[in-house]
Each structure stands twice: as structure tokens, then as C-alpha cells.
Amino acid sequence: MASVHNLIVKRGEAEILKNFSAEFPEHQVTAVSGRSGCGKTTLLSVLLNLLPADSGEIHGFQKPSAVFQEDRLLPYLTAAKNISVAAGCTETAAEKALLQVGFDPEDLKKNAVQLSGGMARRVSIVRAMLTSGDAVLLDEPFKGLDDLTREKVMQFVKENLKNRTTILVTHDPRDAKDLAAAKIIEMETEK
């Protein structure tokens, strides 16, 4: 089981995470919610080794893939190339996946800089799902998607979690329900 114990993360003098501990059931979805500023994104950044913890222990996250709040695409590569470079798959496999999440065939050759916000979001999600690893960390992955697109993307995500440990940060209770979260963690802002 993946877990964090007594995690402390500071930015300057402010403690973003203070002795935070949690267990994340293996091969299942854990939803993490809470008010803005309580440390949800910071937690994911620490699990991805993008931000150091000041103290604490982390177990069970060897090679996670992620959907960030920002799409983090290479602007002058096509959607499929953005996916294949990061995920190590063929562009053909990436294009097939993009069609599953509602891309039009003519949009497959557009560079990332030419994509709408919703299209860029779908590229980020497909990239994370096609990247192999033991865990998937999703930071508000469905924000900005209309209901029809969200439904297609949600189906794709469910089909591609591949029994990986998943942490879903969300403000939308539908996300946890639709991904059948086994556990919900409500983070609180320290006072």
C-alpha cells in the first residue's frame, strides 16, 4: 500500500503540510479534496519528486504519471507527438487514444499551441494514461471539460487505469463517484 507518514512541507515559514499522513489503497482510486490552499497540489508535487518534503516518509510511489492543473505540453509538437514523447508509445497509438476522447481527425495534426483548452486538457489526460507506471496522480483532471467530453474522457480514464494506484485531487464530487473512489480524504487548512 502506498502511504505518506508525518509529511511536513514548508514554503518559507509557512507549513503547507503539517504532519500529514495517509494511506492509498493499492490498485484503487483515492480521492483527495479540500479547500483551496490546504496542500492538495503540494502533496502531489512531493509524490512526483517535484518538491522536496522537509520531513516525513513516502512509500510506494516508484514511477507515477500525472495530470497537472496546467497542461504542460510542448507547444510546437502535435498532440500525438506530445503523448508519444512522454509516454513512450507510438504516435499511432496516441492518435487512436485521442480519437477515443473526442478529437476530430483533422485536429490530430495541430500543434499543441493551436489546441483549445479542452483539447489540451485531453492530451494531458491521454499522456498520463498511456505512460506506464505504478501510480497515476490526477490534479483536477476534468476541469474545463463540457459534460459530453467529460463523459468520453471519464470512460477512457476508467479503461486505462490498469489497476494502478490512483490519487485524484478534485473539487467535484462527481469525479470521485464516477471513478469509484475506494477512499476519500478530506484535507483541512491548518490554522
Is 0.95 surpassed by the pTM of this model? Answer: no
| pLDDT value at residue 190 | 60
In angstroms, rounded to a whole number, what is the distance separating the alpha carbons of residues 26 and 30?
9
Q: Which tens digits make up the pLDDT trace of 105-133?
A: 999 989 999 999 999 999 999 999 999 98
Residue 112 grid cell: 499543441
Pick the CATH number of 2-187 from 3.40.630.10, 3.40.50.261, 3.60.9.10, 3.40.50.300: 3.40.50.300
Q: How far, CA to CA in Å, does 60 sit from each of 21, 38, 47, 89?
A: 14, 23, 10, 25
CA angle 28, 126, 174 (to 5 degrees): 50
The H or E element that residue 59 is part of is strand 55-59
Q: How far, CA to CA in Å, does 51 sit from each of 19, 54, 82, 140, 174?
A: 16, 10, 24, 19, 29
Pairing between β-strand 183-187 and β-strand 55-59 as defined by DSSP bridges: unpaired
Quick check: 66 pLDDT over 80? Answer: yes
SS (H, E, C) 78-130: EHHHHHHHHHCCCHHHHHHHHHHCCCCHHHHHCEHHHCCHHHHHHHHHHHHHH
Q: Which tens digits make up the pLDDT trace of 149-179?
A: 999 999 999 999 978 999 999 999 999 999 9
Amino acid at 191: K
* Sequence ranges of the domains in the chain: 2-187
Quick check: 191 pLDDT over 70? Answer: no
